[in-house]
C-alpha cells in the first residue's frame, strides 16, 4: 500500500480528546505522498452503515453509485442495506466492487430479489423468501456480506412481515452475523419484531415519526424497545426520506435512549433532497448536543464494530482509511424527514478521504 503523510491536522484518536495537532503516517514504505491537513480534523475513514448502492441497471431504487455518496463525499466505506437478495447478490461484485473506489459491504435481503424498486415491491413475500439460498450466499461472498436485512413494514412485506423477520433472524443465526431490522409501518407491530432481536442485531430507522414507532401512542418509550436496548441491540439512525423525526429523537434522548450509529439510508430517491449526505446527517446530530467526538465515533468505531469489520482495521486510524474534514462555524437550517427545521451552529465539511492507498478529494459538500 502506498505511503502517505497527513500533515498538520488535529488527529481524532479518541472520543473525548484532548486531540493534538500532529502528522499522521499511513503505510510502511519510505517516501510517499503528502496531504496538507492544516486547519482540518483527521479521523478514521467514515462508514455509512445504511445505504443503497447496488448500481445494477435493473434496480431503479438503488441505482446510486457508491462513490457518489462515498469517496466523493468523504466517506470511505458504505454498507448496502439489503438492496440485493439471494438471486441478485452475485451481480454485486461486477456492478459495485469492480467499478467503485469506495469500500462496500452489504446486508443480504431475506427477500430473494432484494429491492428492485423504490417502494420495495413486496420483495419479502413468502414465496420470495428463501432461507437456504440466503445462507448459501454467505459461503460465496463471506468477505463482504456482513449480515441479513429484513424490512418489517407493510410497505415492503405486506402481511408476511413478522414471518419474514423470523426467517431473517434464523438466517442470521445460522451464519453467525447480525440482523438489520428496518422498522416502519405496521404490520408487523414493532413490539413483536423488537422482541425477536438478539444482542448485536441492528434496528434501523429507529426514530422515525410514523404512527406506532418507539414512542408508542403517548410519547413514552415502549417497553420492547427498552428491553432491546438493554440486551445490547445496536440503535441505528437510517435517516432516509421518511425515517428520522427530530421530535421523536429528542423525546427518546430525554428518556435515556441511545443512538449507536449514524447512517443516511441514501439512495437514488433521497440523495438530491431530504438526506443529501452522511456529513449533513452528522451535523444534524450536533444540534442535539452530541460532541464532535461522539458524532465521529458513531460513523467510525461504532459501525465498524457493529458489522465486525473493526478486525480488518476499519474504524481505527491505523487501518488504512482516513477522512479529513473541517467543522465550520456556520448557521444552516436543516430539515428532518417530517419537514421540521433545526438551525445548526456548526457545519461538518469533509475535505478528502484516503482509501486503499489512494487519496480522493471531496467534490460534493452538500
| 64: three-class secondary structure by DSSP | coil
b (16+ CB within 10 A) / e for 137-161: bbeebeebbbbbbbbbbbebbeebb
CA 52 – CA 264 distance, rounded (Å): 10
48 binds Zn ion (CB under 5 A): no
SS3 content of the chain, % helix, strand, coil (to 5): 25, 25, 45
Q: Which is nearer to Zn ion, 49 or 76 (CB)?
A: 49
Q: Mask of contacts with Zn ion, 161-180, x by CB under 5 A?
A: --------------------
Question: CB of residue 292 vs Zn ion: minimum separation in angstroms?
Answer: 26
Site for Zn ion contains 271 (CB under 5 A):
no
Give min distance, CB of 29 to Zn ion, in A.
40
Closest CB to Zn ion among 100 and 264? 264
Stretch that binds Zn ion, among 66-74, 78-86, 141-149, 153-161 (CB under 5 A): 78-86
Q: In a 3-state reduction of DSSP, which class is residue 294?
A: helix
Q: Residue with CB nearest Zn ion? A: 265
Q: Which stretch binds Zn ion (CB under 5 A): 92-100, 162-170, 259-267, 318-326?
A: 259-267
Size of interface with Zn ion, in residues (CB under 5 A): 2
Nearer to Zn ion, 108 or 292 (CB): 108
Choice between 81 and 146, CB closer to Zn ion: 81
Residue 265 engages Zn ion in binding (rule: CB under 5 A): yes
User: Which residue(s) pair with 46 in the sheet?
Assistant: 75
Q: Based on the shown chain and the rule CB under 5 A, indicate whether residue 236 belongs to the binding site for Zn ion.
A: no
Distance CA 173, CA 201 (A): 10
Pairing of strands 4-11, 179-183: unpaired
- Least separation, in Å, of the C-beta of 16 and Zn ion? 32
Contact (CB, 8 A) for 183 and 237: no
Integer Cα distance of 43 and 353 in angstroms: 10
Which one, 81 or 353, has the nearer CB to Zn ion?
81
The CA distance from 124 to 80, in Å, is 17
Residue closer to Zn ion by CB (options 10, 242) is 242
Stretch that binds Zn ion, among 223-231, 264-272, 289-297, 322-330 (CB under 5 A): 264-272
**Rounded to the nearest 10 degrees, how much is the dihedral formed by the CA atoms of 152, 156, 159, 161?**
-20
Shortest distance (Å) from residue 248 CB to Zn ion: 18
Report in angstroms the alpha-carbon separations of 356 from 36, 66, 240.
19, 15, 29
**Segment interacting with Zn ion, rule: CB under 5 A, options 67-75, 155-163, 258-266, 296-304:** 258-266
Q: Given the rule CB under 5 A, which of 41-49, 76-84, 106-114, 295-303 is the region that contacts Zn ion? A: 76-84
Q: How far is the CB of 50 from Zn ion (least distance, A)?
A: 6
Instruction: Answer yes or no whether residue 81 interacts with Zn ion by CB under 5 A.
Output: yes
Q: Which is nearer to Zn ion, 124 or 344 (CB)?
A: 124
Closest C-alpha among 55, 106, 38 to residue 77: 106
- As a whole number of angstroms, the distance between CA 202 and CA 81 comes to 11
C-alpha cell at position 28: 510502511
> Which residues make up the interface to Zn ion (CB under 5 A)?
81, 265
Amino acid at each position: 500500500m502506498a505511503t502517505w503523510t497527513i500533515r498538520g491536522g488535529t488527529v481524532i484518536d479518541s472520543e473525548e480528546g484532548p486531540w493534538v495537532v500532529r502528522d499522521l503516517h499511513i503505510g510502511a514504505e519510505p517516501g510517499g505522498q503528502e496531504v496538507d491537513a492544516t486547519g482540518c480534523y483527521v479521523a478514521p475513514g467514515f462508514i455509512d452503515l445504511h445505504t443503497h448502492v447496488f448500481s445494477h441497471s435493473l434496480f431503479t431504487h438503488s441505482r446510486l453509485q457508491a462513490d457518489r455518496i462515498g469517496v466523493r463525499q468523504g466517506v470511505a466505506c458504505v454498507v448496502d442495506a439489503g438492496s440485493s437478495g439471494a438471486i441478485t447478490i452475485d451481480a454485486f461484485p461486477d456492478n459495485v466492487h469492480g467499478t467503485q473506489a469506495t469500500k462496500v459491504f452489504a446486508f443480504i435481503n431475506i427477500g430473494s430479489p432484494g429491492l428492485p424498486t423504490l417502494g420495495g415491491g413486496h420483495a419479502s413475500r413468502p414465496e420470495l423468501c428463501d432461507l437456504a439460498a440466503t445462507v448459501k450466499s454467505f459461503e460465496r461472498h463471506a468477505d463482504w456480506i456482513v449480515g441479513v436485512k429484513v424490512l418489517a413494514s407493510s410497505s415492503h412485506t405486506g402481511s408476511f412481515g413478522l414471518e419474514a423477520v423470523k426467517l431473517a433472524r434464523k438466517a442470521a443465526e445460522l451464519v453467525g452475523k447480525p440482523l438489520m431490522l428496518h422498522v416502519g409501518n405496521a404490520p408487523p407491530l414493532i413490539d413483536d419484531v423488537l422482541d425477536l432481536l438478539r444482542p448485536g442485531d441492528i434496528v434501523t430507522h429507529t426514530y422515525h415519526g410514523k404512527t406506532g414507532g418507539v414512542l408508542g401512542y403517548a410519547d413514552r418509550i415502549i417497553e420492547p424497545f427498552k428491553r432491546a436496548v438493554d440486551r445490547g441491540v445496536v440503535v441505528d439512525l437510517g435517516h432516509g426520506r421518511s425515517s428520522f423525526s427530530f421530535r421523536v429523537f429528542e423525546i427518546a434522548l430525554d428518556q435515556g435512549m441511545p443512538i449507536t450509529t449514524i447512517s443516511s439510508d441514501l439512495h437514488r430517491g433521497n440523495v438530491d433532497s431530504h438526506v443529501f449526505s452522511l456529513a449533513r446527517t452528522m451535523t444534524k446530530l450536533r444540534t442535539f448536543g452530541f460532541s464532535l467526538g461522539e458524532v465521529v465515533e458513531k460513523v467510525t468505531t461504532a459501525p465498524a464494530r457493529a458489522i465486525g469489520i473493526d478486525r480488518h482495521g476499519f474504524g481505527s486510524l491505523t487501518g488504512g482509511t482516513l477522512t479529513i474534514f473541517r467543522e465550520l462555524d456556520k448557521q444552516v437550517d436543516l430539515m428532518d424527514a417530517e419537514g421540521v427545521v433545526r438551525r445548526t451552529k456548526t457545519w461538518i465539511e469533509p475535505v478528502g478521504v484516503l482509501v486503499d492507498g489512494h487519496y480522493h478529494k471531496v467534490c460534493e459538500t452538500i
